[in-house]
Amino acid sequence: MLAATVFGEPNTLVGRQFGDYRVERWIGSGGMGVVYQAQDVRLQRPVALKLLPPLFASDAGRVKRLGREARILASLNHPNITTVHELAEFGESHAIVMEFVDGETVDALLHGRGAGSGLPLRQSLTIARGVAEALEAAHEKGVVHRDLKPANIKVAGSGLVKVLDFGLARGVADADTIPGSRGSGDTLPGQVVGTPAYMSPEQARGHVVDHHADIWAFGCVLYEMLTGRAVFHGATPADVIAQVLNAPVDLEALPAGTPHALRQLIQRCLEKDTRRRLQHMGDARIEVDDLLADVGSSGSRAPLSMRRSDPRRHLGAGIAAGVAVGVLAAVTAWGAFGVASPQPAPVTHMQLATAPGRPLMPTLYRDLAMAPDGSRFAYRTTAGVVVRSRDGRPDVVVPVEPAAAHFFFSPDGQWLGYSSSGAIRKVPVNGGTPVTVVGTGSATVGTWGDTGVVYTDSEGLHRQAEDGGFEQVPVPGLTDGEQLTFPDVLPGGRAALVTVMATRAFVIPLTGLADSAGGRIEVVDMRSGERKLLLQGGGAARYSPTGHLLYLSAGTLMALPFDLARLEATGEPMRVVTEPGVSDFAVSFDGTLVYVSGDPLTLQNELVWVDRIGGMQPVGAPKGLYVYPELSPDGSRAALVALEPSRGDRDVWLWDFTAQTLDRLVSDETDNPTVAWSLDGQHVAFGRSGSNGAVGTFWRWADGVGEAELLSDSLRVQLPIDFAPDGRLLLSVSGGGNRDIVSLSIDDERQLVPVLHGPGSELSADVSPDGRWLAYDSDETGHFEVYVRPYPDVDAGRWMISTGGGRQPVWAPDGSELFYRDFTGAMMSAAVTTTPSFRVGPRTKLFEGTGLAGAGSGGSSQTYDISPDGRRFLMVRVPGEPALVLTLNWSRSLQPVTTR
């Protein structure tokens, strides 16, 4: 797996010199590198320098592809195409030195005139002629641009038009294979490359394209120059593609004085059927020439189909028609570049480097999100949520509260939405103050549809109404033991994908559970609520315009062929990623895929003893998907919460240290999230959420005799935490979006009594051995810290124990220390005095948390326990650090989508 820093600082090279070229300013990022304006100090002229980062200098495939791009541009020696000066090597850096065009792009010209205002007719035709000249020359050389748009056309101060960025171009002269290349190969059916508003229908469908795609894009650009708006537009990139595929061209939007011949030209360029589309760019160039000569023409000239064509154009177009398209690649940005190869390249997985001090920190929630256009993605780190952009700008740490989960982008990519403490919130991706969108119930997961936010919670499916409020979508047929989660609104907004889980009133739907064989994926009509089953045995589905639903099943990333028009599966599920342990993923409209690999809850973990200086020793138990361990009072056994991958829920197991045996204590199709030992070690209390039993708190004899007994039945999710010395069971209970600490008496009355109701969520709690002090963690300040209060009179005082973040407090058996985890996962110790009053002493880091479950700033139940002698900790060792992986050509391993 290739480790790569994919997004770099844009201005880090300013002032540096490469050979004869001194870098002056950053221009932008392209598919094969970072582009700078530089000064040729020897010839005293400005140049554009396209640099391949030194990180890829040893990658023969990337170096060769950079050379191929330079050769393609060099072969297109034309005044309307950027000139290549040289292909250079500066130590470990490789670069293309190109002509620097000082001027404005057509995109900038249009923006300068304001929304809906086009360019003057003659100016539009003059630019169009230069573009037509460039494309005609390229097609004659067998090169297809494939990403023509206003941003890739520059008008120099002299008025000369230049077509830029042939990074997606392909040339037949380069149809050689790159041995050992990680990202080479032709785009196969199903892969979408380009910019949605300018994609031809065949390009949007992922079909192999030829010069007809450039003719289509030329028509789009010409239309936009005249009207000031794109031909095809929508709230999301997927909606734009839907318009490209289905919507007619609105010629009525053209200015009233637009000549008939020009209208006809645009219409012919934008025919969805390539057989009816204008066949050659030379014909467009001739038409524009005639229009420039007589702007006031009434359009009485012969129809385009009757014009004579230069036979050389037929030859060039015939060559171009046989050229396949290139492939997406992850070099300095998510841009795409063309690669010629007669043999398909394998699916490529590329590990993305994270910033120093901000390692990836996945939780049980959906922590990865990508903007619809692939321009940026967000992921959770130990330092918060990071938004990373494709254009080389520095990472942004977005200020969200620790309880934030289930991230999603707005259609324009400018807002990051998330669920937090009973609400859907949003925050600007460039940083700013979070804003509450709507208050919700528990177990909230949101997304963004065409007309606003859509979310699921414990009450059902909700969408933003036309008046700006929210309304519930009626979803008939759900049983009392089911809930909807992980919504994904399909293009057009008429339907949404949902996952149906067999666990109602769950704390927060967990990716490691919802993606399992116990879930099912359905499509729901957003108006009527009518449901249709698509797949049994998976969850967290997302739509990809390649014609697939991507989803998770038992830690494996899968794809299901899908017909968007009929809302039906059209084939059998297929594996996208071969290795297990995928816990989260995000995909953009163009098929760029990012996923989390190596999540600790989807791989085989190991129970270990860790001493006070960090030394580890396996306890001897079989490896498993362990989550929360808790030692019996005498230390002879451990109750373990472990994920059951075949069902996607958690069961309770008992490990006997003396007999070295592992036995299942609780096994059912419900989820059993946390455990607590009774004071005498005879019972194990556990939570239960699901369809095969009441939601609430149970306990069972630890020897496995008899059935589980219901202790407290509730519609609110109850998580057992700890039995206090007074015999009461402490629970963390959901309510109003936050969680509170309550106590349950284990007697005939079984009374629930509030213990702590703070402004935030309290997740973990432990009463001191003398029964006088309650340690707990809370996010009341905006992030989790550890506190101590008197017990049971919690209002008599409060002391903050952790500084800079802390979670999961546990008392030492003798009451002289309070242990907790900081956000890096390190084990911390605070010396305390409990008599005659409470005092806290120095805080000491005992050992780092590297390789041990329980790091991060989000809420979590107890991921460790202390031995009765206070000398070592029972912890969960994870098999490896989770990683962000960019996947190239993922659809290449799948069978083409078929229709019935």
- Residues designated as active site: 147
The DSSP call for residue 712 is: E
The DSSP call for residue 803 is: S
Token couple for 532: 């249709």
Cis peptide before 792 (omega within 30 of 0): yes
Using CB atoms within 10 Å of the CB of residue 691, give its burial: 0 to 12 exposed, 13 to 18 middle, 19+ buried.
middle
Amino acid identity of 304?
Answer: L
CA distance 544 to 241: 12
DSSP states along 268-314: HHT-SSTTTS---HHHHHHHHHHHHHTTT--S-SPPGGGS---HHHH
Q: For the beta carbon of residue 258, count every other beta carbon within 10 angstroms.
A: 19
CA R_g for the chain: 31
The DSSP call for residue 852 is: B
CA distance 587 to 404: 21
CA distance 534 to 475: 16
Whether the Cβ atoms of residue 698 and residue 665 lie closer than 8 Å to each other: no
Strand, helix or coil at 660?
Answer: coil
Counting every residue, how long is the chain?
900
Q: CB neighbours of 837 closer than 8 A, spacing ≥ 6?
A: none
Strands (E), 293-434: 327-328, 336-337, 348-352, 368-370, 376-381, 384-389, 396-398, 405-409, 415-419, 423-428
CA distance 330 to 5: 10
CA distance 399 to 126: 48
Whether the Cβ atoms of residue 806 and residue 785 lie closer than 8 Å to each other: yes
CA distance 366 to 584: 6
Residue 737, Ramachandran bin (φ over 0: left; ψ between -120 and 50: alpha; else beta): left
Whether the Cβ atoms of residue 146 and residue 194 lie closer than 8 Å to each other: yes
SS3 content of the chain, % helix, strand, coil (to 5): 15, 35, 45
Q: CB neighbours of 418 closer than 8 A, spacing ≥ 6?
A: 385, 400, 404, 405, 406, 407, 408, 424, 425, 426, 427, 446
Going by C-alpha positions, the residue among 259, 257, 196 that lies closest to residue 230 is 196
Point out which residues pair with 443 in neighbouring strands.
none
Q: For the beta carbon of residue 296, count every other beta carbon within 10 angstroms.
A: 8
Going by C-alpha positions, the residue among 31, 35, 138, 49 that lies closest to residue 86 is 49
Q: CB neighbours of 748 closer than 8 A, spacing ≥ 6?
A: none
Strand, helix or coil at 147?
Answer: coil
Give the chain's end-to-end CA distance (angstroms, integer).
Answer: 38
φ, ψ of residue 694 to 5 degrees: the values are -65, 150
CA distances from 520 to 277, 448, 482 (A): 44, 21, 11
Whether the Cβ atoms of residue 251 and residue 259 lie closer than 8 Å to each other: no
